[in-house]
Amino acid sequence: MESVAKVGAEKGVTRVGGKALERLLKFIEERRCAATALEEGFEAFEGEVHRRFAEAESELVGEELARLDVTLPEVRIEGVLYRRVVSGVGEYMTAAGPVKVLRHRYRAAGTNGASECPLELRAGVVEGFFTPLAARMGLWVVTHLTPAEGEQLFDELGSMSPSRSSLDRLPKAISEKWEAHRAQWESQLREQQGPLTEAAVLAVSLDGVMAPMKDGQREGKREQSRQEGKFTRGPAGYREVGCGTLSHYDGAGERLRTVRHARMPEPKKRTLKRQLVAEVEFALKRQPQLRLVKVADGARDNWEFLAKELPPGEEVVDFYHAAEHLRRAFGHVYGESSPKAQASFKEYRQLLLKAEDGVGKVIRTLAYHHGRKPRCKALKQELAYFRRNRARMDYARLRVQNLPIGSGVVEAACKTLVTQRMKRSGQRWSSDGGQAILTFRALAQSERFDGAWKLVSAEYRRDVSFPENVVPINAHRVSSVWELHPK
């Protein structure tokens, strides 16, 4: 019977298995037998130790990768018959550095389609280049740093050495797989995060932040919108990224855990809202005793969603947004910088926060001043804001019950998910490229990255089976790691 994993010399390649480990062991023995300690250049010695161990590690990983190669005339991949078409040396990036491995490729019988590499499918090689651990490390790094910074980081660490272009492509490719399974996988991640038995409150918030987008015709589109009488918001080339959070609090008002989501610009934030609905419904089904609190600024679209599409609960306008409207209102009454405006703002801010029916006192005072200045449209708008949101401003009662009154959690998410990573000098984003970063950045900040990686990495593995009369020999000791002859 034919062996599944054959190893033999092929033209243009040389066997290198075992040499790095031998060199490492020799180096260790020499240092252990040295009569004196190093007095100078200890940093260089540390670097040499690290380099030698990394070489041995990559060699060992390459040898194990080579064991997964298949040389049979035919195999089945996910039950479909494939026939061998070509062999050659492939380069892969491992967590310890690059390796070159002899591998064979197969094509579906009777077709002229793309070929597949059983070695890659059995190992779970990501996008034909990264080993699973290397891909995980690369993905984690570029969710936090730019590809250029990631390249510099890996170079400084001295193990794997992906280029900035490969780091740029990696999250985009993985994101395609994630989006294809997103709803299912997010459901699985919710199941994996256990319930918080001490939780008493569930708070949900929604907000947005402007981000620079790739759009070569942005000025023309804004001008067209102006000509059509449409409102144009934000600087040219910027659109709103949606952010949402779901936080658990204990009875004393301490935040226990927060799940974060972010989506690239989309009409009405539809996908983000569906994500938040799914999170809330799951949390309340698991722990129906949780008290639901919806916190946001006064934007009408936010409350159209929070009030109508989520289960009933406390509705709270973020206190700090309300206070800012109060400051502007007294500025319209007395003049923005006047001492009287500042004093009145401080007085009524405390009433709004601590007094029973504090918002009623604010409304009556602003109504009085509007009666004296009926032509002041700005003051009228601020008064309408407080009247419209009166039921959502019972801050004194909410504070006594240790319920959240601020949307600082979601505003912080806007900063940490979007601003810190996506609004650096010169950056502009496509929808797909930006979403690739946002998805895995949000997962990392929600303590879901580990579970998410297990789900997405499994997509790169496929079942490779062999004819019944063939016994696979995967435990052979001969290396199949190769390097190209210099020409």
DSSP 3-state of 86:
strand
Q: Cα dist. 94→62, 360, 481 in Å?
A: 8, 64, 13
Q: Which amino acid is at 481?
A: V
What pLDDT, in 10s, does the model give residues 223-272?
A: 666 665 555 555 668 999 999 999 999 999 999 999 999 999 999 999 99
Alpha carbon distance 103, 117 (integer Å): 7
Instruction: Enumerate the domain spans of the chain.
Output: 1-118+464-487, 125-152+160-192+444-460, 195-227+234-422
What pLDDT, in 10s, does the model give residues 63-111?
A: 999 999 999 999 999 999 999 999 999 999 999 999 999 999 999 999 9
- pTM for this model (two decimals): 0.87
Q: Cα dist. 265→87, 139, 153, 441 in Å?
A: 45, 22, 31, 16
DSSP class of residue 414? I
DSSP 3-state of 287:
coil
Alpha carbon distance 262, 435 (integer Å): 8
What pLDDT, in 10s, does the model give residues 152-207?
A: 999 999 999 999 999 999 999 999 999 999 999 999 999 999 999 999 999 999 99
- pLDDT computed for residue 11 by the predictor: 37
- pLDDT computed for residue 225 by the predictor: 60
